[in-house]
């Protein structure tokens, strides 16, 4: 079939993580080739091993999630054909690798466990009936997962660019402090000068002497006459 699986183009939280990725749900792809009893599988393979993948002849031959390290591929998300029909109200996306519990349980259903490495991976949808494969899509483009950053690779020292930014910020902060200090000092000097002028005015008024030239000086009073004279 000409359909090519792909990661959704729309913004989606957790669209690609270190262990999972989302896929658009195919719709109206298998309707002309399927019966109601058929199922649709998702084949997941390392990108460099997808060309070597061979479709299983029956459900018993389906490669399991646990075989990925050695077989380099597995099949998962076995789903009834009706889920991918044109009228199915199914979710718009599928998430590969989101079942963290299935690999720890002894279950017979296909595991959709976390992907063990960044990949890249290729995927395709495979329609299987009672007698084996009936139709399949094209392989997707390589899908590379996010890589977790090791704490040992993080440089605790800032980069040169970061250091320059810190230095410039420090200089600007220092200039701001100096400018504020200068303004406060100028205001203080102006206030002090005003107070001094007021004080000098009061002192000059208190100690200033006035000569009253229009008032004649007082003459000395004569001694009183003695009674014995």
Identify the burial level of 68 via C-beta atoms within 10 angstroms of its C-beta, where 0-12 means exposed, 13-18 middle and 19 or more buried.
buried
pLDDT band at 75 (very low <50, low <70, confident <90, very high): very high
pLDDT score, position 222:
44
pLDDT at 105 over 80: no
Pick the residue with more confidence: 200 or 190? 190
DSSP state letter for 152: G
- CA distances for 79 relative to 1, 33, 180, 219, angstroms: 18, 15, 72, 136
pLDDT band at 24 (very low <50, low <70, confident <90, very high): very high
CB 113 within 8 A of CB 59: no
Q: Are 43 and 126 in contact (CB under 8 A)?
A: yes
For residue 100, the model assigns a pLDDT of 86
Residue with tokens 């890249």: 120
pLDDT score at 86? 83
Nearest to 128 by CA among 32, 25, 33: 33
Least confident of 69-73, 160-164, 219-223: 219-223
Report pLDDT for 206. Answer: 43
- The CA-based angle 57-61-27, given to 5 degrees, is 70
Q: Would you say residue 154 has pLDDT above 90?
A: no
Residue 163: the pLDDT is: 56
């Amino acid at each position: 079939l000409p359909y090519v699986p792909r990661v959704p183009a729309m913004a989606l939280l957790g669209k690609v993580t270190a262990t999972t990725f989302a896929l658009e749900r195919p719709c109206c792809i298998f309707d002309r080739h399927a019966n109601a009893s058929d199922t649709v599988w998702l084949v997941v393979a390392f990108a460099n091993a997808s060309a070597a993948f061979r479709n299983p002849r029956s459900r018993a031959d389906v490669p399991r999630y646990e075989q990925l390290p050695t077989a380099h591929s597995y099949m998962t998300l076995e789903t009834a054909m009706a889920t991918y029909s044109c009228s199915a109200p199914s979710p718009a996306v599928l998430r590969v690798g989101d079942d963290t519990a299935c690999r720890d349980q002894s279950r017979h259903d296909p595991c959709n466990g976390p992907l063990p490495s960044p990949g890249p991976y290729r995927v395709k949808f495979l329609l299987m009936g009672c007698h084996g494969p009936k139709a399949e899509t094209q392989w997707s483009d390589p899908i590379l997962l996010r890589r977790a950053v090791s704490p040992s690779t993080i440089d605790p020292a800032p980069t040169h660019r970061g250091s320059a930014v810190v230095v410039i910020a420090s200089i600007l902060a220092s200039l701001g402090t100096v400018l504020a200090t200068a303004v406060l000092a100028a205001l203080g000097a102006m206030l002090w000068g005003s107070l001094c002028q007021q004080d000098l005015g009061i002192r000059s008024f208190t100690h200033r002497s006035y000569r009253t030239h229009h008032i004649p000086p007082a003459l000395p009073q004569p001694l009183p006459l003695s009674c014995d004279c």
